[in-house]
Amino acid sequence: MTRIDISTGARLHFGLICSEPAMRWRFGGIGVMLRQPAWRLSFTPIVADTDTIEAADDIGQRVCEFLKRIRSHHHIGSLRIEVHHAVPFHTGLGSGTQLGLAVSAAIELITHRRVQEDPFRLAQLADRAERSAIGTVGFTQGGFLVDKGESQVDPVDRQVDRMRFPDAWRFVLVHPENSQGLSGEQERTFFGRQIHMPHVLIENLEQQVLRQIVPAVREHHFESFAKSLETYGQAIGTFYSAEQGGVFAHPAMTKLVANLRSSGVFGMAQSSWGPLISIPAASEQHAAEIMRLIPDSIDQSRMNTTVSEPLNTGATIRSAVDDAVDRILE
């Protein structure tokens, strides 16, 4: 084994359900894995005193942090790590979790010549999956994911239902340039205050997921999916609005959503703390039509806009020595 190449997707998370401890849906929610943007990394064991990381400074720093955590569990020599493509940090795409799991998987393969089958074990090595499990399970399975939340007995033991997302559907992703959502210490401080959703809101979100969104995905009913997703996202965003400054974390996104609604587009929902929003589309052509409605900038905030397709498989891992591929599936 001379080199390991890993490709992951990104994840959309349509809002964390914040219930009281020992209640249903504790840190649960819904999300979907995307094919783009993606992490593409190579790992090569080297004979040297230190690691060599070929990446932008912020990415290199995160990789070093993950290596330090993982090395507290594994003895491993120096590595050359090349980052060929990256998922932007702190935009709502679950970048940190996918990167951490990729590093964990590579080191598992280097040290044990296998990849740990339990995604939560990989997450524990990298100190991820602190609350949501969608990105963790999505790393190994892809698809559309319904996280039922922490177990009342063991926080690591949680039910995450996975289903295939319609391959023809797309998401238009819109992100205000040079902006980031809540993360790190700010996020931990928020959840440390133990703010909980009202029971009636949790019940409404549960019914929206189980009676509207999940059947729409399963039966490929796009209009029902888009409308119910927007309802879900609006309810979640309203709960977090005091912390993030509104239903949407960036004022340009609030204006964009209003303009799209007036043009007959629906389904807009923020991913995680944003500021990125996603807009579902029934096809590539539908996505192109939505893209034409999005201006280059709003109130001097330049819009980064792209179309992404669903990722219905797990991460792809290739060993360069024998060209073997281990695609992690459900």
* Residue of 182 and 263 predicted with greater confidence: 263
What is the structure's pLDDT at 153? 57
Mean pLDDT of the chain: 91
**For 220-246, what is each residue's pLDDT tens digit?**
999 999 999 999 999 999 999 988 999
Region 91-106: what's the mean pLDDT? 95
- Are 2 and 106 within 8 A, CB to CB? no
pTM: 0.93
Does residue 328 surpass a pLDDT of 60? no
The pair of three-digit structure tokens given for residue 223, joined into one six-digit string: 């209009």
Region 66-86: what's the mean pLDDT? 94
**For 271-292, what is each residue's pLDDT tens digit?**
999 999 999 999 999 999 999 9
297 in helix, strand or coil?
Answer: strand
Does residue 214 surpass a pLDDT of 80? yes
**For 128-139, what is each residue's pLDDT tens digit?**
866 789 999 999
What is the structure's pLDDT at 329? 41
Does residue 155 surpass a pLDDT of 70? no
Does residue 156 surpass a pLDDT of 80? no
What amino acid occupies position 197? M
Considering the chain, what percentage of its residues have pLDDT values greater than 70? Answer: 93
* Residue of 108 and 213 predicted with greater confidence: 213
The pair of three-digit structure tokens given for residue 133, joined into one six-digit string: 């499990």
Domains of the chain: 4-163+311-327 (3.30.230.10), 170-308 (3.30.70.890)
Region 305-322: what's the mean pLDDT? 89
By CB neighbour count within 10 A (0-12 exposed, 13-18 middle, 19+ buried), where does 307 fall? middle
Q: Find all residues with CB under 8 Å of 221, minimum gap 6, and list them.
A: 215
Nearest to 216 by CA among 207, 225, 227: 225
The pair of three-digit structure tokens given for residue 13, joined into one six-digit string: 């998370």
State the pLDDT confidence band at 295, using cuts at 50, 70 and 90: very high
Q: Distance between CA atoms of 134 and 121, rounded to whole angstroms?
A: 14
**For 246-275, what is each residue's pLDDT tens digit?**
999 999 999 999 999 999 999 999 999 999
What is the structure's pLDDT at 188? 73
Which residue intervals of 91-221 are DSSP H helices? 95-112, 119-126, 134-141, 184-192, 199-207, 214-219
